[in-house]
Amino acid sequence: MSSTVTRDKAFFAFSPDVLAVMRVAQGEEFAIETHDCFSGQLKLSSDTLETLDWSITNPATGPVYIEGAKPGDILRVDLLEVKATGPSVMVTIPDVGALGEFITEQETTILEHDGDNVVYKGKVRVKQKPMLGVIGVAPAEGEIPNSTPGGHGGNMDCTLVTTGSSLYFTVGVDGALFGCGDMHAVMGDGEVVICGAETPGEVRATAQVVAIPGLPTPFLENDDMVVTIASAESTDEAYKMALAQMHGFLTKIAGLSVNDAAMLMSLVGDLKFCQVVDPLLTVRFEFPKSVLREYGFEMPRD
Ligand code: CA
Ligand code: ZN
């Protein structure tokens, strides 16, 4: 039986000052219910943003105190299940998002969930690929609104943050103070209009400290690839950070030479946008694990 953090346990900024709502041992399974990014305020297409209470948008659930996690540790969070419970909502907002200049009318659209699909305006069926937009740990000091991504994680809106992925964060405070939210039943890379299929959901996870000194964080791993994720004020800055972090990982941790790492990143690595609409922009670099195996390197597991 895993303990569940219910979605009413919401917080709105990652900070050392937010009190933990649950404690778990390392490796102990826990469950988290998440609100959609509007805290469930938009239930009908007639629910407009004019009546929205913006102070409760971008909720994350938690934080969860991971026993024994200390500042400077690398925390690995294994996402055992990321499940969208629906229905989903999308919005347009004039002058907001990467397409804002073209948008003159605010619109709210509810997307029903039908089995494994979401249904857009009764017409377009899209297979769900549920993912968490916001996931992270408290920074060592200060507070970072959930709208903003960064070194602590936060609003990265990375489509790979899904069932079967592991996320790595550098712990800022005792217990790490982990939280997540902003689930999307499905979303395209870039999140160009400012949202995906925003849905409530349920997450099952474990978290534990791992010994991978120098791992650049946030870092993601799934069955097929390792991924660096970087956020900055421009996508140019962000992609340079993501590239430098992957090159550093490949040379300093996986043991490739400077030139092998660079040539293989250019040969089989993929540079992709996560999102281009948040206060900082997020870019990722994906590198296949099959190549790491050719060099005799495996990510350490328990
Ligand atoms: Ca988001
Ligand atoms: Zn979202």
CA distance 41 to 44: 9
Domain positions in the chain are: 3-210, 221-294
Beta bridge partners of 13: 145
Residues, Cβ < 5 Å to ion ligand 1: 133, 155, 157, 182
Is it true that domain 221-294 has CATH number 1.20.120.1200? no
For 265-292, letters b (16+ CB in 10 Å) and e give: beeebeebbbbbbbebbbbbbbbebebb
- Confirm if 219 and 229 have CB atoms less than 8 A apart: yes
CA of 218 to the centre of ligand 2 (A): 19
Supply the pLDDT for residue 301.
84
Q: Can the peptide bond before residue 216 be classed as cis, meaning omega within 30 degrees of 0?
A: no
pLDDT tens, residue by residue, 250-282: 999 999 999 999 999 999 999 999 999 999 999
| C-beta separation of 77 from 166 below 8 A | yes
34 CA from centroid of ligand 2 (Å): 11
- Read off the tokens for 2: 């895993």
Residue 234 CA to ligand 2 center (angstroms) comes to 20
Contacts 24+ apart (CB under 8 A), 247-256: 248/214, 248/216, 249/215, 249/216, 249/219, 250/287, 252/214, 253/212, 253/214, 253/215, 253/297, 254/292, 254/295, 254/297, 255/295, 255/296, 255/297, 256/295
What is the Å distance from ligand 2's center to 257 Cα?
39
Q: Which fold has domain 3-210?
A: Jelly Rolls (2.60.120)
| Residue 69 tokens, joined | 């996690």
- Ligand 1 centroid, distance to 114 Cα (angstroms): 23
Ligand with an atom nearest the CA of residue 135:
1
**What span, in angstroms and rounded, lies between the C-alpha atoms of 189 and 94?**
21
3 state DSSP class of 22? strand
**Whole-number Å distance between alpha carbons of 90 and 202:** 19
Q: Which residues of the chain have pLDDT under 50?
A: none
Q: Maximum CA pair distance of the chain?
A: 58
3-state secondary structure of 183: strand
Residues with a beta carbon under 5 angstroms from ion ligand 2: 37, 133, 182, 198
pLDDT of 2? 66
Q: Are 91 and 106 in contact (CB under 8 A)?
A: yes
19 token code pair: 């009190």
H helix intervals, the chain: 235-248, 258-268, 289-294
The answer to pTM > 0.85 is yes
